[in-house]
């Protein structure tokens, strides 16, 4: 009776295989969990990288806008033609040429028409952390004098000069706010110095770049 003797063995083999089949489910679930974590990490990393790239690009936009404002400030100080440019909002010719017109009344601490004036002693006692003796190019929260001159409609203003106001330079495209500049006379008696400060913005208004350059008036 061979068939009877084989049946218990077969039964025992089938019974011993049942626990092995139950291990597959936890292993599969574990692999799925690992794959899910890896995919989530990859997505997060890609998203973070995209955000960093976007911020860097916006910074470059703001920096180029600030550089455009610096060049516009140079054209403002030394215009190539006499009088008011055809498309400019305001006429700077009564304040030019330089250095002849580096005069009190035209250059004052309140930055009338973007022309500021300070002494080395005043600047030496400026403290950014506390806002003591604020410099005009500091942010408004620290006592700066940029003002809100975007969309300027009058020529008697104080604070920053929006690009093109005196030069008819075209607006910068793709920025949240047009760049602007200040001209600051550092009154060092017989050795004056002009500090040009420009700030530009990216597509995001919170992306801001400030650039400065110094200029020694000819003949001084």
pLDDT digits (tens, 9 = 90+) for 44-89: 877 777 778 889 999 999 999 999 999 999 999 999 888 999 999 9
The stretch 4-19 carries a mean pLDDT of: 51
Nearest Cα to Cα of residue 136 among 216, 179, 195, 217: 195
Instruction: Transcribe 74-135 into DSSP letters.
Output: HHHHS-SSSS--TT-SS--GGG-STTTT--TTTSBTT-BTTEEEE-HHHHHT-BTTTTBS--
pLDDT digits (tens, 9 = 90+) for 136-159: 999 999 999 999 898 888 999 999
The alpha carbons of the chain give a radius of gyration, in whole angstroms, of: 34
């Amino acid at each position: 009776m061979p068939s009877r003797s084989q049946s218990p063995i077969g039964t025992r083999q089938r019974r011993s295989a049942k626990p092995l089949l139950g291990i597959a489910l936890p292993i599969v679930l574990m692999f799925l969990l690992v794959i899910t974590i890896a995919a989530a990490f990859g997505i997060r990393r890609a998203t973070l990288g995209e955000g960093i790239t976007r911020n860097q690009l916006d910074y470059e936009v703001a920096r180029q806008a600030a550089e455009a404002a610096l060049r516009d400030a140079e054209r403002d100080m030394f215009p190539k033609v006499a009088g008011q440019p055809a498309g400019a909002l305001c006429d700077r010719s009564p304040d030019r040429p330089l250095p002849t017109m580096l005069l009190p009344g035209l250059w004052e601490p309140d930055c009338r028409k973007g022309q500021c004036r300070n002494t080395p002693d005043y600047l030496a006692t400026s403290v950014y952390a506390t806002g003591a003796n604020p410099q005009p190019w500091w942010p408004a929260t620290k006592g700066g004098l940029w003002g809100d001159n975007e969309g300027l409609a009058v020529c008697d203003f104080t604070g920053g000069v929006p690009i093109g106001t005196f030069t008819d330079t075209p607006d910068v495209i793709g920025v949240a706010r047009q760049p602007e500049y200040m001209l600051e006379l550092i009154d060092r008696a017989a050795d004056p110095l002009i500090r040009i400060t420009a700030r530009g913005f990216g597509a995001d208004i919170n992306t801001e770049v400030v650039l400065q350059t110094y200029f020694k008036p000819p003949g001084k």
